[in-house]
Structure 1
Amino acid sequence: MTIKVVVADDQGLVRSGFAMILDAQADISVVAEAGDGVAAIEAVRAHRPDVLLLDIRMPRMDGIEAARVVSAEAPACRIVMLTTFDVDEYVYDALYAGAAGFLLKDVRRDDLVHAVRMVASGEALLAPSVTRRLIADYTRRLPRTEQPAQPSERLAVLTTRERETMRCLALGMSNAEIAEALVVSEHTVKTHVSSILGKLGLRDRVHAVICAYETGLAVPGAA
């Protein structure tokens, strides 16, 4: 199956460079390019891509607002935010807007291709540096008196193994790393993750990470 991609960035060289690299792959097709948020939304509406590479800072409409619209109108489209810095100040807002992860604009060719394939398969691009930023933003926004002292009742629907899996997700661990930590197969991890998302009504594993901290299942600063 061919992965359909839309590349949205106001820098023409970045946009065309990404498109050229991805179009060279037999299983990936760049169906459209866009120079701002409005054009990105129009491209998604017209082509229904599997993956949208979306710059955070763009004219007319920024990537955060565009991500919100795309998430609402085309929930099957996986959004990857493009940024210059791995600690972009909009990380938290972008994840809440529906982003499945982040890519630095100076990403290596092979890593770009791998990232698109991974996101298209349902994985998330939540690097440890981004996870740390997410946690830092969360703890900054939520006063200590409001932080849950113990896991929320919302998590009562999860089994013990599912909670353990969710804690591992909160540490930014991959399926392979979770499987090793819990001494189970990767298939079992995928089953647990799918169950967590379904029971809690979460969009993807990125939002499972957010939920883990908001409900008190994971504690900022804990290993």
Structure 2
Amino acid sequence: MKKGIIICIILVVISLSFYFCYKIYSFYHYSGELIGVRGTGIYHRDNCKFIRNISNEKLVFFSDKMAAAEAGYRACKTCKPPDNKKELIEVEKRKAEERKREEEERKNKMNTVDGPDYSKVKILGSSFKKNMIMVEVTGTIKNENSENESWGVSCRVQAIFFDKHKKPIFEAVSDNISLVSGQIKSFDIKVINSIAENIESYKLQLVNFSAVPDWLVAP
């Protein structure tokens, strides 16, 4: 009985010795290269057990943790390569700022480069009668970047309806409206009967702007 216990203890000690020897060997034989696995968003040490049987086509190599962060990869929790949480936050913050800047540039370009000045298109007035909104829209449109080209504009009117608690209960969008400089157009936005009786107020806004040559705009 005692011999059996001693043998078991010896086997456990030998197993643990092999395990720790392997860990020490792996630690000192880590080259510093970071390897990601495509489709997982995770990068590993080059001696991590999770990448041993993965084909080279599915591997992506990073020079450092910042490069991994730029690609959107995080560190493996098993082999624990250099962590890049801080770098991931920095990258996401920078990308958010870039997206914001690009959106601002796009809006500025929309009004100054590619066609008419959409800010001149206005909703003149509206009224709510018989389950529909009657709207008048006008456009004083000019292409600031071309003296020889005359533009019209196409857009839609979006209506948002609110109940007595100022909670939005329904949205509707008009058909396309095409205008040339100084033109005024009237049209209706229909409202579902069952909703109309609960409408206390509404808000209108112009959406989906695009420039069109004035000769395509119906009188």
Structure 1 length-normalised TM: 0.20
TM-score (norm: length of structure 2): 0.21
Tell me which protein shows more strand as a share of its residues. Answer: 2
